[in-house]
Structure 1
Amino acid sequence: MDGSIESRVSQQVDDWLVWLPRWRPGTHRGRTRLCRTCFGSPVIAAAGLNTDVPHAVQHALAMRMKHVIDAEVDEFTETHLPLLSREIRLNQERKAASAYHPAEGLDPAYTGLDLDPPALPDAPYLFTFAELARPEASVTLPAAPLPLTDEEKAAIRAEVKLADRQAALVGNRVCLELSRNSERLRVAVAEFVEPWVLALLADLDTALDSPLWPRGI
């Protein structure tokens, strides 16, 4: 397959469209805060899914696009930004020393979401994924690197700016390609998502009970 950004975006859209018919509304818990990946996202806006679309549906697409952008920026960093690449590698080595990484290897539909639901009052307490992700006391972390010189700090800051600029360029290309696919994205949402939303609204309507309505009828 063509390795261009546009072809990768198109392939991710195809994968999202395959996943979408399996989506079901979540009922186990509500969100306690806005998703920083999806709220105000230009990716979601370019896809035409920024209005009246459930967050889980938006998030599954946004994370697929984030993976495309991250992969491109990682490749650019590895090839052109040696100091920043070294710092990222050292950080990854320290992270790898922790005992467990529950957020890794998840399907894009779940990547980036909170792994631990809010605790229920009086519920039995076992553990949280966040606790499991912490390094064990017996694990020896790699030694901290030597402090950077002022010149190295300035060079890394310059490379970070280049990486940010590359991310913005790739993001613009991703959004442009998504806008070209927005029609089939909206059609799929109308076919597979809206019936579930309408069914939930119908259930809510039958369950509501107003104190102004007559009783015993």
Structure 2
Amino acid sequence: MVVVERSLETQVSQAVDAWLRWLPRWEPATHRGRVAPCRRCLGSPVLSAAGLGSDVPHGVQHGLSIRIKTLVDHAVAEYTSDNLPMLQAELDQQAARNRARSYRPAEGLEPEFEGLPLDPDPIPGAPFLFTVAGLADEADAGVPALPPLSDEAKAALRQEVGLADDYANLVGREVCAVLLRHRLRIQAAVAQYVEPQISAMLDELTRSLDAPFDPNAEPGLPEL
């Protein structure tokens, strides 16, 4: 376990370093906000360990949570390959099926965009001519389904999935413990690069509310 802990510590440090290099390029989104919360970030213990609370913009949170998820997924994949042959065979078949798809828009994305919906939320009365997700579904429909499993195989697969989940939880707890040591520099970066932009947006909103009809009018003195 000591070797695993050292390996995870290095990987988490590298993930945080990569996120810190990206953070200065972050800008507040100007498009419509999404109605549905991000399932990867809402209530994430990783973000809690990193000190990124609900007052931090989701784009900032997502860039870090996906990087950490990637290294957890990699650790679980190694464990699965070494110890869970039935689950590994199932994953190999699914991977081969995915490679057979002619259109894979969700693959190869930067961490800041990975796992997010492929299309914006629709605007009532303005339907899309097509959607990226719809095109991906059409490509997926032409790929043969995986062969069915027997009841015995399903039971064995469920057991191996449970073992993989247990290992993922173990790795996740270790990762959160390591992230606690990075909280200060994570929060310092948010204070340097994120909070000033949020303050500027709030100041602009205040000015527009003070002068809703004339942006050049004196605050508090609306034009008659």
- Structure 1-normalised TM-score? 0.89
Partner of 2:190: 189
Q: Secondary structure at the match of 1:152?
A: helix
CA contact (8 A) 2:50 2:183 kept: yes
Q: Secondary structure at the match of 1:31?
A: coil
| Structure 2: segments with no counterpart, 5+ residues | 213-219
Q: Secondary structure at the match of 2:137?
A: coil
- Aligned equivalents of 1:38 and 1:142: distance in 2? 33
* Distance change in 2, residues 1:55/1:137 (3 Å): closer
Which stretch of the first structure deviates more once superposed, 65-74 or 95-104?
95-104
Among candidates 4, 13, 25, match of residue 10 of structure 1: 13
Q: Secondary structure at the match of 1:58?
A: helix
Partner of 1:70: 73
More helix by share: 2
- Alpha-carbon RMSD: 2.4
Identity %: 51
Do structure 1's residue 119 and structure 2's residue 122 form an aligned pair?
A: yes
Q: Secondary structure at the match of 2:185?
A: helix
CA contact (8 A) 2:103 2:136 kept: yes
Partner of 1:100: 103
Q: Provide the aligned length of Structure 1 versus Structure 2.
A: 213
Partner of 1:173: 174
What is the Cα deviation at residue 123 of structure 1? 5.1
- Structure 2-normalised TM-score? 0.87
* Distance change in 2, residues 1:90/1:24 (3 Å): same
CA contact (8 A) 2:211 2:222 kept: no
What is the Cα deviation at residue 135 of structure 1? 4.1
1:1-217 aligned at under 5 Å gives the runs 4-120=7-123, 125-136=128-139, 139=142, 141-142=143-144, 144-145=146-147, 147-208=148-209, 215-216=222-223
Which stretch of the first structure deviates more once superposed, 179-188 or 201-210?
201-210
| Structure 1: segments with no counterpart, 5+ residues | none
CA contact (8 A) 1:16 1:61 kept: yes
CA offsets, 1:107-136, max 9 Å, x none? Answer: 101111112112345658442111221244
Question: Which amino acid is 1:25 matched to?
Answer: P
